[in-house]
Chain A
């Protein structure tokens, strides 16, 4: 089946540094990928929609200059947390939609998430 790979699974960085998280669709092309953030005991909150070849669409309240998204190819989207602060510590999850022509819905496949800890 379809698989979405997210890397790294865990990262610890110092305050003020930048961290890049990769999301790859391994056996299908994804023109659209999504980035979510999940705080402890909270649900997933959509941060932004990553569109291949164009600018990402950010949800209200998400700083586009802080969370840089690049979707350079049909199988790779990256999220860069710039000038990270301890409050950015969270679980970041990506998903990619596998388009199935002729079907009523095209399922989302989620990565295994990245646990970011900013010290």
Chain B
């Protein structure tokens, strides 16, 4: 059972903007530990989208943007394209017990 909660699904029309949430607590996102985001298309490996809350790796379009506030983080996808249909996961660190990397529950984006 993940400690980072994401909505199961989000949908939008081509060209629209959708925002995905990632809700944690004071032992992870609010501690504060950085949040990172991954995109996973069906049948493929995850791909890094955002690291360190707001940074895009080389090659990731600026249509993808990350933010963080308090115990939550968000990923915004603007100018939605058919190619954006995928599962999206947030990831952070949780300092309870011996500490652990944690992933969110994942959000399926439908265009």
Same assembly: no
